[in-house]
Amino acid sequence: MRGPHNIWRLVRTLATLERTGANQLVLKEVEAPAGVRAAARALGWPLKWLGDRGDETLPPATRALTALGPAYIKFGQILSTRPDVVGPDLAVQLRVLQDKLPPFPREVAMQTIAQELGVPAEDVFSEFSEPIAAASIAQVHKARLATTGEEVAVKVLRPNVERNFRKDIDAFYLAASSIEFLSPASRRLRPTDVIRHFDGVVTGELDLRVEASAAAEFAANTEQDAGFNVPKVIWPFSGKRVMTLGWAEGAPLGDNAALDAAGHDRYQLGERVLSMFLLHALRDGFFHADMHQGNMKVAANGDIICYDFGIMGRIDEYTRRVYAEILYGFIRRDYRRVAEVHFEAGYVPADRDIDEFAQALRSVGEPIFGMDATHISMARLLAYLFEVTERFGMRTRTELILLQRTMVVVEGVARSLHPSINIWQVARPIVEDYIKESLGPRALTRDLLRTARVLARFGPHLPHMAETALIRQSQDPAPVSRRPVALPALWMGAGALLASGLIGLVALL
């Protein structure tokens, strides 16, 4: 429940960060200004005794986030993929949040299964292991089906996770609204909308039926993608709090030593992670939006196995084309075209100068090209990008949050596999292929055909629509010279006839 009581939650957050030592550590690793660090210490130190101690066996940042709850853990998972932003030491600490959190007892998981499926867990699974991976929202067990003997992975939600997440997200709403109230300049970033989007995404993750459906759709989309696999859903043994998938055997993608020992080429794996994300986002408009190392394995044959489909992203075809054109413009270093696309899509207010915006984009892009990826500071680049968006009044696009966030995460995963991977080089052939397919003559023909089909559907209604429009015009008491011309229905009729003709022509061809 939202309300002033969440102020206490935010106070406890700051106090916990200070008490565990995470406050200053994180600010130091992200190279926060000295003034910011001093202000954080001044605010946090007097409240330190109010914070949670957390698990003292864990490093400071991990200790703080696990003590604070699932929503904070999700944030830490994102940071764990960005050693170039938070530093390599902190990234390693936070990686524990991906799948190595303290588990809940096996017996509790079996009780949840019995309640959800309506039969004892022992009747469903002949074998049921201790937890093999535990994350912020659920944990996974290896099991064997009693009926077929097939090995499976069983995902079970944590007890009370819905309530705990609700407390976190309510505090986030309060923080976002407070920021908007105290800093009008922040409103262009739409913090409350961002939290609302995050709320919707993770709320969906708390219903494993939604995740199972997403896994099935994702598997169907990627069935023909070489070197990429998705486990199948075992529907009879899946529900709201339990999901059963086929077992996926492989080395963790985050364990470079294990990958090297198995003889895998980490550079190729990093390229494939990047290329698969871009392919799924552009080709399908449906992509895995939580592609950190804890959600991927590498099979013995080198295939990447992807799982945990609680957070998936979806973007419409128009947005995909805009996104592709922006990427393509950066790849070609055509900053003028990138600027034009931003204005055409409404991402930049129309009263801003397009040439100045193009120049600003050049100052962002040029330092990247020709530079070894290991020398690029993503933290400084993101800080400069923030300055550019602020200067030109760009507002946060909530429909692109998952896409942008996942791109940052995926690049971080790829560079953790091999630091010299450059996202622009990997993206070029995929984006070029998409541009040819979606923005060329074939795409125009396809769009016209779709439009014709839509118009043709109105055919049976056209006589009535035309009659109604003409009757209304004849009954209008206004002078003839001021009556609206009853052309819409007539134009619709002509359009439908044209549409029918086009569809017939295409059918003949």
The per-residue pLDDT for 251 is 93
- Residues 274/410, Cβ–Cβ less than 8 Å: yes
pLDDT surpassing 90 at residue 155: yes
pLDDT surpassing 80 at residue 75: no
- Domain residue spans in the chain? 6-98, 102-135+137-219+230-247, 249-439, 442-508
| Comparison of pLDDT for 126 and 71, the residue scoring more | 126
pLDDT surpassing 60 at residue 54: yes
Q: Closest Cα to residue 208, out of 169, 175, 235?
A: 235
Note the pTM of the prediction, 2 decimals: 0.70
pLDDT surpassing 80 at residue 2: no
pLDDT surpassing 50 at residue 487: no
The residue written with tokens 């922040």 in the block is 186
What's the rounded Cα separation, in Å, for the pair 158 and 108? 9
Q: What is the pLDDT of residues 258-284, one digit of tens each?
A: 999 999 999 999 999 999 999 999 999
Q: Closest Cα to residue 83, out of 292, 295, 305?
A: 292
What is the band of 491 on the pLDDT scale with cuts at 50, 70, 90? very low
The per-residue pLDDT for 40 is 67
Long-range contacts of 380-384 (CB under 8 A, 24+ apart): 382/85
Report, as an integer, the average pLDDT of 197-225. Answer: 88
Report, as an integer, the average pLDDT of 317-341. Answer: 86
Instruction: Quote the tokens at residue 206.
Output: 């708390």
Worst-scoring range by mean pLDDT, 286-295, 327-336, 387-396, 428-437? 387-396
Half-sphere exposure of 64 (CA within 13 A, CB side): 24
Residue 350 CA, chain-centre distance (Å), reads 28
- The question of whether 447 is a catalytic residue gets the answer no
Mean predicted lDDT score pLDDT of the chain: 79
The per-residue pLDDT for 89 is 73
Report, as an integer, the average pLDDT of 423-450. Answer: 76
The per-residue pLDDT for 470 is 75
The per-residue pLDDT for 454 is 66
The residue written with tokens 């931003």 in the block is 342
The per-residue pLDDT for 444 is 65
The per-residue pLDDT for 509 is 37
Q: Name the active-site residue from 290, 303, 355, 476.
A: 290
What is the band of 28 on the pLDDT scale with cuts at 50, 70, 90? low
Q: What is the pLDDT of residues 218-243, one digit of tens each?
A: 999 999 999 999 999 999 999 999 99
